[in-house]
Amino acid sequence: MLKTALAAALVGLGLLAAPQAEARDVLRFAVTDVDGLETLQREFGPFKAEFEKLSGLKVEFFPVSGRTAAVEAMAADQVDFVLTGPAEYVVFAARTKAVPVVTWQRPDYFAHVVVLADGPVKTAADLKGKKVSFHEIGSTSRHLGPASVLTEQGLVYNRDYEAVFVKTNVGLEALRRGDLAALGVNGNDIKGAAKKLPDLKLAILAKSAPLPDDVMIASPKVGSDVVEKVRRTFVDHGAQLMGAVVSVEANKKYEGGVFKAGLTDKDYDSTRAMYRAVGINTFDKFIGN
């Protein structure tokens, strides 16, 4: 009791920093789409080692079981920095007031709506009354982005067509059979289909503008000096850090990309517009949760 009172008095006098202002000895880091510690270590171990060497900061992996768990962990002050996608960032911002630190650019990051090249669908209007699959609910490049593109083409989400959700590999076969009229996919899906199913000829019915990049965010409880030191490390040593990231096959989506600082919350207003295109007007929880 006496120690607590003394500490409070010292804080008030400015002789002792408040706990929130203290620089953390270890930065707790999570990635929303990587499940489990072993996978996190395998996919981001080289990045962690390089970042620690270049920044002088220590990083501790904080595994999460998904995007919801990551948001809850930040809200509970269990994690300091999170690498996440644009759709997820919008929820983090609404729930935790997370601070954007630096983007992780994904070259050729677009949303597409694809159909059979020799099929009956030639225009967006041809999708009326038919089924369109979006792989995973809430995905930026496979759901929100493609649905937004169709909205721009004059189709009302899940009214002019039926929105369904099946994994892309299953959806491609369903498209071949005629069970689906179109798929919402990203560029990597199209490249993967060309390699694995060379006999399946696809046509791009619609394509989005470049999607917002993935973003590393900081908890609002992390001191601004720490956030700036982390940001500065990416700015000053981007090539070395990106080299470490893409040295792992699972991270090849970032190959050729760069880290960008100077972003603000408004840079993700386009993602909020995508949510609105599927009928979501509040952003404090994930779709389907």
How does residue 18 score in pLDDT terms, banded at 50, 70 and 90? very low
Helices within 76-185 (DSSP H only): 86-96, 145-152, 168-177
Portion of the chain with pLDDT greater than 70, in percent: 91
Report residue 42 CA to chain centroid gap: 19
d(CA 205, CA 185): 11
Average pLDDT over residues 138-166: 96
Q: Which fold has domain 111-207?
A: D-Maltodextrin-Binding Protein; domain 2 (3.40.190)
pLDDT at 230 over 50: yes
pLDDT in tens, 90-148: 999 999 999 999 999 999 899 999 999 999 999 999 999 999 999 989 999 999 999 99
Mean pLDDT of 31-45: 95
Encode pLDDT of 46-55 as tens digits. 999 999 999 9
What is the rounded average pLDDT for all residues in the chain?
A: 91
Domains 23-106+212-277 and 111-207 share a fold: yes
Average pLDDT of the segment spanning 168-183:
97
pLDDT score, position 148: 97
Task: State the average pLDDT over residues 59-68.
Answer: 94
Q: Give pLDDT, residue 287.
A: 83
Strand partners, 215: 84, 103
- What confidence score (pLDDT) does residue 24 get? 63
Residue range 151-159: mean pLDDT, rounded: 96
Q: Tell me the three state secondary structure of residue 250.
A: helix
Q: What mean pLDDT do residues 9-34 have?
A: 62
The structural domains of the chain, with segments of one domain joined by +, span 23-106+212-277, 111-207
| Among the listed residues 31, 73, 70, 26, the one whose alpha carbon sits nearest the alpha carbon of residue 52 | 26
The 3-class secondary structure across 50-90, one letter per residue, is HHHHHHCCEEEECCECCHHHHHHHHHCCCCCEEEECHHHHH
The average pLDDT across 8-23 equals 41
Q: Which helix (H) or strand (E) covers residue 2, if one does? A: helix 2-13
pLDDT at 15 over 50: no
d(CA 75, CA 96): 6
158 has pLDDT over 80 = yes
Least confident of 26-30, 110-114, 214-218, 280-284: 280-284
For the cut 90, the answer to whether the pLDDT of residue 246 exceeds it is yes
Spatial CB neighbours of 171, under 8 Å, sequence gap ≥ 6: 133, 135, 180, 183
Backbone angles phi, psi at 172, to 5 degrees: -65, -40
Class of the CATH domain delimited by 23-106+212-277: alpha beta
- Please state the pTM of the whole predicted model: 0.86
